Amino acid sequence: MKIIVAIKQVPDRDAPIRIATNAKGIEERELQWAMNEPDAYALEEALQLKEKNGGEVIVVSAGPERVGTTIREALAKGADRAIQVLCDDLGTRDALGVARLLAAAIKRENPDLVLTGLQSEDVGLGQTGVIVAELLGLPHSTLILHVEKTGDGITVKRELEEGWFQRIEMPLPAVLTMQSGGNKLRYATLMGIKRAKTKELKSVTAAELSVDAAAVVTLEHIAMPKKQKSTQILPGSPKEAAAALVEKLKTEARVL
Amino acid sequence: MSGILVVLEDRAEKIRSTSWEALAAALKLGSAQSVTAVVLGAQTEALAGEAAAKGVGKVVRVEHPLLARYTADAYCAVLQQLIQNESPTHVVFPHTYQVRDFAPALAARMGQALIGDVVAIEDGPVFVRQLMQGRLNGSYRHHGNGPCFVSVQTGAFRADTVEMNETTAVTTFIPNLDAAQIRTKPSEPFREAAQTVDLASAQRIVSVGRGIKEVENLGLVQDLAAAIGAELAASRPICDNGWLPMERQVGSSGQTVAPKLYLAVGISGAIQHLVGMKGSQCIVAINKDPEAPIFEVADYGIVGDLFEVVPALTEAVKAVKA
Averaged over A164-189, what is the pLDDT? 95
Q: What is the pLDDT along chain B (322 residues), one digit of tens a residue?
A: 889 999 999 998 999 999 999 999 999 999 999 999 999 999 999 999 999 999 899 999 999 999 999 999 999 999 999 999 999 999 999 999 999 999 999 999 999 999 999 999 999 999 999 999 889 999 999 998 889 999 999 889 998 878 777 777 899 999 999 999 999 999 999 987 666 788 988 999 999 999 999 999 999 999 999 999 999 999 999 999 999 998 899 998 888 899 999 999 999 999 889 989 988 999 999 999 998 999 989 999 999 999 999 999 999 999 998 8
Q: How far apart are CA B239 and CA B267, in angstroms?
A: 13
Q: What is the pLDDT of residue B312?
A: 97
User: 3-state DSSP helix/strand/coil percent for chain A, to nearest 5?
Assistant: 30, 30, 40
- The closest CB to that of B309, out of A223, A242, A255, belongs to A242
- The closest CB to that of A248, out of B76, B247, B300, belongs to B300
Q: How far apart are CA B236 and CA B42, in angstroms?
A: 35
Q: What is the pLDDT of residue A211?
A: 87
Domain range list for chain B: 4-181, 199-321
Residue B27 per-residue DSSP state: T
Q: For residue A152, how many C-alpha atoms fall within 13 Å in the half-sphere facing its CB? A: 0
B307 phi and psi, to 5 degrees?
Answer: -70, -15
pLDDT above 90: residue A16: no
Q: How far apart are CA B209 and CA B204, in angstroms?
A: 17
- The alpha carbon of residue A215 is apart from the nearest alpha carbon of chain B, in Å, by 8
Interval A125-165: pLDDT, tens? 999 999 999 999 999 999 999 999 999 999 999 999 878 89
Confidence of residue A212 (pLDDT cuts 50, 70, 90): confident
- Residues of chain A found within 8 Å of residue B260, distances taken between Cβ atoms: 255
Cβ–Cβ under 8 Å, residues B251 and B272: yes
**What SS3 state is found at B262?**
strand
What does the angle CA B231 – CA B234 – CA B235 come to, to the nearest 5 degrees?
150
**Residue B125: cis peptide before it, omega within 30 degrees of 0:** yes
Q: What is the pLDDT of residue B164?
A: 74
Cβ–Cβ under 8 Å, residues B67 and B42: yes
Give me the interface pTM, i.e. the ipTM: 0.94
Task: For residue B195, give the chain A residue with the closest CA.
Answer: A163
**What SS3 state is found at B217?**
helix
Work out the burial of residue B295: count CB atoms within 10 Å of its CB; fewer than 13 is exposed, 13-18 middle, 19 or more buried.
buried
- Residues of chain B found within 8 Å of residue A173, distances taken between Cβ atoms: none
The answer to whether A45 contacts chain B (CB < 8 Å) is: no
Assigned CATH class of B199-321? alpha beta
Helix (H) or strand (E) holding B265: strand B261-265
Q: How far apart are CA A164 and CA B320, in angstroms?
A: 41
- The closest CB to that of B302, out of A94, A241, A253, belongs to A241
- The alpha carbon of residue A249 is apart from the nearest alpha carbon of chain B, in Å, by 9
Mean pLDDT score across all residues of chain A: 95
Q: How far apart are CA A21 and CA A17, in angstroms?
A: 13
Strands A81-86 and A56-63: parallel
CATH number of A2-205: 3.40.50.620
**By percentage, how much of chain A surpasses pLDDT 70?**
100
CATH 3.40.50.620 assigned to domain B4-181? The reply is yes
- The alpha carbon of residue B43 is apart from the nearest alpha carbon of chain A, in Å, by 22
Interval A47-87: pLDDT, tens? 999 999 999 999 999 999 999 999 999 999 999 999 999 99
**Residues of chain A numbered 114-173 and touching chain B (CB < 8 Å):** 121-127, 130-131, 133-135, 139-143, 158-171
Domain range list for chain A: 2-205, 229-256
Two domains, one topology: B4-181 and B199-321: yes
- Residues of chain A found within 8 Å of residue B273, distances taken between Cβ atoms: none
For testing the chain B interface, which of A17, A156, A161, A176 should be mutated: the one with the most B CBs within 10 Å? A161
Q: What is the pLDDT of residue A227?
A: 73
The answer to whether A29 contacts chain B (CB < 8 Å) is: no
- The alpha carbon of residue B35 is apart from the nearest alpha carbon of chain A, in Å, by 23
Helix (H) or strand (E) holding A192: helix A190-196
